[in-house]
Structure 1
Amino acid sequence: MTIAVHSTAETDWAHWHTRCSARLLDPHHRPDPIARYPLGEAPEQLPDVPGTWWVVDGRVFIAAKPGDRLDHEGNRIAGIEILDPVEGGPGVLLRHDERALEIIRQDGQTVIRIYSPADEHTR
């Protein structure tokens, strides 16, 4: 038998991430992002967002170091991560410290939206 021990911060993040994911997928109760950045084909650094971001053929490339504290599906990005957001589909979620980053693709444009846990009024 294996028993997993999680820190309070990991548990708190998991609960917040679950709530945030549900809110982002609910078309009737979507919180407002604290920031929104369109992504282009040229690699660029975004204000207050670590890493370098660019899009090629609808795929999002993120170049980041472990110290950037960008996580995707529970794994720290260290190098280049390639994500495939679906046109008009639910966004791809990443974590940066206490914020959620949602990458969406709509009408041929790729956008990153930043959400803060301070948006808890949307629960």
Structure 2
Amino acid sequence: MGLFDGLFGNKDKGEKIEKKDLAWIPLTSLDQLEEIKEKSGAKTQIIFKHSTTCGISRMVINTLKSSYNLTEDQADLYYLDLLSNREVSNETGYKFQVLHQSPQLLVIKNGVAVAHASHGEINNIDLSSFI
């Protein structure tokens, strides 16, 4: 009873643990990249490049969701499905001078990538230090 409650949840308690939903902005067009660059002068812009078929990418996004602690006033958070938006993904690398990887997180301030990481290193970035 008690041992498995921690693993599978106790249905008798009626409790449901929900993952925090983030205020993702879908990044789907090349025009948005120029907007991100412009907006980064006043507010930090964050781009998460995600491969929907990659297990590592799935693990990283789940960890990011559970640890992300910035508000919408502090930063804009973009989600780029790189398989559906390959051209946008490629241009992101060119525009911000970051070699493509997946998953990948870019922090944009004043028109440039001030930080970026890929794979498990994404969760080591202290995003609050860029606010």
TM-score, shorter chain, exceeding 0.5: no
| Structure having the higher Rg | 2
Instruction: Name the TM-score, length of structure 1 as normaliser.
Output: 0.28
Please, what TM-score do these two structures have when normalized by structure 2? Answer: 0.27
**Structure with more of its chain in helix, by fraction:** 2
* Higher-strand-fraction structure: 1
Larger RCO (CA within 8 A; separation ≥ 6): 2
